[in-house]
Amino acid sequence: MEFVGAAALIIGYWDASWVAVGAIILGITGIGGIMTHLRAKDSFKDTFMIILLAIIGIVLFALHASELSDFPGFN
Protein backbone atom coordinates (compact mmCIF):
# COMPACT_ATOMS: atom_id res chain seq x y z
CA MET A 1 0.00 0.00 0.00
CA GLU A 2 2.85 2.37 0.71
CA PHE A 3 4.24 1.74 -2.77
CA VAL A 4 0.85 2.46 -4.38
CA GLY A 5 0.48 5.65 -2.30
CA ALA A 6 3.97 6.78 -3.23
CA ALA A 7 3.30 6.08 -6.91
CA ALA A 8 0.10 8.13 -6.71
CA LEU A 9 2.05 11.02 -5.17
CA ILE A 10 4.58 10.83 -8.01
CA ILE A 11 1.77 10.87 -10.59
CA GLY A 12 0.40 13.84 -8.64
CA TYR A 13 3.38 15.84 -9.83
CA TRP A 14 1.65 16.02 -13.24
CA ASP A 15 -2.02 15.65 -12.21
CA ALA A 16 -2.82 17.24 -8.85
CA SER A 17 -5.91 15.12 -8.21
CA TRP A 18 -3.67 12.09 -7.65
CA VAL A 19 -2.02 13.78 -4.66
CA ALA A 20 -5.22 13.53 -2.63
CA VAL A 21 -5.64 9.85 -3.49
CA GLY A 22 -2.03 8.98 -2.64
CA ALA A 23 -2.21 11.00 0.56
CA ILE A 24 -5.36 9.28 1.80
CA ILE A 25 -3.85 5.87 1.03
CA LEU A 26 -0.71 6.75 3.00
CA GLY A 27 -2.71 8.36 5.81
CA ILE A 28 -4.91 5.31 6.32
CA THR A 29 -1.90 2.99 6.08
CA GLY A 30 -0.11 5.15 8.63
CA ILE A 31 -3.02 5.05 11.07
CA GLY A 32 -3.16 1.26 10.76
CA GLY A 33 0.58 1.07 11.32
CA ILE A 34 0.35 3.24 14.42
CA MET A 35 -2.36 1.01 15.87
CA THR A 36 -0.21 -2.06 15.13
CA HIS A 37 2.84 -0.55 16.82
CA LEU A 38 0.77 0.44 19.86
CA ARG A 39 -0.74 -3.04 20.09
CA ALA A 40 2.74 -4.58 19.93
CA LYS A 41 3.88 -2.09 22.61
CA ASP A 42 6.83 -0.92 20.52
CA SER A 43 8.96 2.00 21.67
CA PHE A 44 8.39 5.52 20.39
CA LYS A 45 11.65 5.24 18.45
CA ASP A 46 10.26 2.27 16.50
CA THR A 47 6.87 3.95 15.99
CA PHE A 48 8.09 7.42 14.98
CA MET A 49 8.46 6.82 11.23
CA ILE A 50 4.91 5.52 10.79
CA ILE A 51 3.59 8.45 12.86
CA LEU A 52 5.46 10.80 10.53
CA LEU A 53 4.02 9.02 7.47
CA ALA A 54 0.49 9.35 8.85
CA ILE A 55 0.93 13.05 9.65
CA ILE A 56 2.35 13.82 6.20
CA GLY A 57 -0.45 11.87 4.53
CA ILE A 58 -3.17 13.62 6.51
CA VAL A 59 -1.68 17.08 5.92
CA LEU A 60 -1.29 16.45 2.18
CA PHE A 61 -4.88 15.21 1.99
CA ALA A 62 -6.14 18.29 3.84
CA LEU A 63 -4.27 20.55 1.41
CA HIS A 64 -5.45 18.74 -1.74
CA ALA A 65 -8.91 17.41 -0.78
CA SER A 66 -10.66 19.93 -3.04
CA GLU A 67 -8.84 18.52 -6.07
CA LEU A 68 -10.26 15.05 -5.41
CA SER A 69 -13.36 15.93 -7.42
CA ASP A 70 -11.14 16.08 -10.55
CA PHE A 71 -9.88 12.51 -10.04
CA PRO A 72 -10.59 10.27 -13.04
CA GLY A 73 -13.82 8.34 -12.46
CA PHE A 74 -15.29 10.89 -10.04
CA ASN A 75 -16.61 13.19 -12.77
- The answer to whether residue 6 is domain-embedded is yes
10 Å CB burial of residue 56 (0-12, 13-18, 19+) is: middle
Is residue 70 predicted with pLDDT exceeding 90?
Answer: no
- The answer to whether residue 22 is domain-embedded is yes
- The answer to whether residue 42 is domain-embedded is yes
Question: What's the predicted TM-score (pTM) here?
Answer: 0.83
Is residue 75 predicted with pLDDT exceeding 80?
Answer: no
Is residue 74 predicted with pLDDT exceeding 80?
Answer: no
- The answer to whether residue 31 is domain-embedded is yes
Find out whether 63 and 12 touch, Cβ atoms under 8 Å: no
- The answer to whether residue 73 is domain-embedded is no
- The answer to whether residue 51 is domain-embedded is yes
Confidence of residue 30 (pLDDT cuts 50, 70, 90): very high
Quick one: CA dihedral 42, 28, 22, 19, positive or negative? Answer: negative
Rounded to an integer, what distance in angstroms lies between the CA atom of residue 8 and that of residue 67? 14
Rounded to an integer, what distance in angstroms lies between the CA atom of residue 66 and that of residue 57? 15
- The answer to whether residue 48 is domain-embedded is yes
| Structural domain that includes position 29 | 2-68
Number of domain units in the chain? 1
- The answer to whether residue 75 is domain-embedded is no
What are 2-21's pLDDT values in tens digits? 899 999 999 989 988 899 99
Is residue 32 predicted with pLDDT exceeding 80?
Answer: yes
